[in-house]
Structure 1
């Protein structure tokens, strides 16, 4: 099992690979998995943009002490396939999630999601309500709350591809270091940067950014979501403010509550790792 303080190289070494279909095309998808022999439905952790499954380094291994956990890299992200010829949208990533769940022997799953991973979780839970037992939604893209202006700008042709090394570092630090509440630790920032720093990474980031589409969450039938829901939110987030958590809790059909974590910005899993971990484990055990 990867430890709670793992760096991105250790996380990558612990990943496995499978395939998932997007628009009829099979794509290579990597994922972190632990606790396979534990009982209960699997817990699937879904990251957002511009992160990858390493976002869950402080959360998923602890949950795996009691549960079977899976944390995929979405298509086009992290160590999954990043060729320049397929859709990266929330709609497409929902297909990736559906294929991963179809491989599971369980009929139901729990989903823990952040940012656009929340859009994926919400789409899946609305379309397949009987298959989702519990939802944890953290600072997620929902309704018409996204894309945020800065991420949208990265999808303009030539912007990210035109960065030199200094500009790349400056923009990544803006996203992951300066954007964190307080001082971001070096392992978190280095891990978030790593996939985009590899050959082809800047083009992959641009393709991910241009695929952000608010139509993929405005169309969701939120009232069809029957899963018990925890909106576990970084209270200081200005990108996805906590008002969105209240709106979600009111919109879903299942029992829902909001828990605000103070001193946490958008990267709530990093800003308040211990508190986040405790809340998730307690909720999933209920």
Structure 2
């Protein structure tokens, strides 16, 4: 299993333009250059980064090229002040990154606010997205949750590192099914435990609102869609997966039991197996 330091060391980076700002984007890439299907792109949420996919990417990379970016403001991507971190801006970043990597068709796998990014991207670029996998994704008016809203309060920028770390510990423990892996928690917290990271996390939280998911035309999504959802989640409840299954034309429900919000971590083996099956089925 790759630890978060090794994951960071293996990341590449490029600079893309988002709203007129040149922003560095870090991304983890693995798998063969040539495969039977398009690259599989993994998009994380808040307060995570691409390390969320530590157990999933290697399983898929046996057969497919995989790309897991850090959203701008997250992980090892740009964290300085002065740019938008909203779902709309993250969609623009993803579009620019794929153009930079010369990728024009993808399978898109996303979690939490990454799911909102993926839903927008799939609705606006149906010709690019062959398969869409959504896991406990923000959609409609399902967010932000209280924990993230509280991170966005101005006072959060002034709290001490110990208090911030405690809040993050609580979020990752409470959002996990059973005992959370200490390495997972340490890896998820690592980007935020610097002065720049602390402020960036607050900026990221401030940018969370329902505007950019309420305006999506969900019926415009043509990709074969798998709703691979932790059914015990209270932050992004399963009811929203059922609503997506109604509104997205080619959507299939795939609940995972004994899984809360961090479903790629809670049920990593089952998640990777079901994802692999779906990607294979969709290319036969």
* Bucket of the pairwise TM-score, normalised by the shorter protein: over 0.9
Distance 1:256 1:175 in 2: 30
Q: What root-mean-square deviation, in Å, do the aligned CA atoms of Structure 1 and Structure 2 show?
A: 1.0
275, 278, 281: which one pairs with 2:273? 278
1:142-199 deviation per Cα after TM superposition (whole angstroms, max 9, x unaligned) = 011111122011111122x222233122101111123211110111000000000123
Distance 2:139 2:124 in 1: 15
Distance 1:212 1:168 in 2: 19
Whether 1:244 and 2:230 are equivalent positions in the alignment is no
1:20, 1:95 within 8 Å by CA — same for their partners in 2?
Answer: no
**Paired residue for 1:261?**
256
1:17, 1:30 within 8 Å by CA — same for their partners in 2?
Answer: yes
Q: Which moved more, 1:126-135 or 1:17-26?
A: 17-26
Cα deviation for residue 106 of structure 1 reads: 4.2
Distance 2:247 2:77 in 1: 33
Structure 1 segments, 4+ long, off by >2 Å, are 103-107
Whether 1:44 and 2:33 are equivalent positions in the alignment is no
1:38, 1:66 within 8 Å by CA — same for their partners in 2?
Answer: no
Cα deviation for residue 49 of structure 1 reads: 0.4
Cα deviation for residue 130 of structure 1 reads: 1.1
SS in 1 for 2:155: coil
209, 216, 219: which one pairs with 1:213? 209
SS in 2 for 1:146: coil
SS in 2 for 1:177: helix
2:131, 2:224 within 8 Å by CA — same for their partners in 1?
Answer: yes
- 5 Å-filtered alignment, 1:215-230, equals 215-230=211-226
**Paired residue for 1:23?**
19
**Paired residue for 1:189?**
185
1:46, 1:72 within 8 Å by CA — same for their partners in 2?
Answer: yes
2:177, 2:266 within 8 Å by CA — same for their partners in 1?
Answer: yes
SS in 2 for 1:20: strand
2:147, 2:171 within 8 Å by CA — same for their partners in 1?
Answer: no
148, 166, 183: which one pairs with 2:162? 166
Whether 1:150 and 2:162 are equivalent positions in the alignment is no
Cα deviation for residue 13 of structure 1 reads: 0.5
2:161, 2:193 within 8 Å by CA — same for their partners in 1?
Answer: no
TM-score (norm 1): 0.96
Distance 1:12 1:107 in 2: 26
Cα deviation for residue 36 of structure 1 reads: 3.9
TM-score (norm 2): 0.96
Distance 1:150 1:165 in 2: 17
Whether 1:132 and 2:167 are equivalent positions in the alignment is no
Distance 1:138 1:242 in 2: 10
**Paired residue for 2:68?**
71
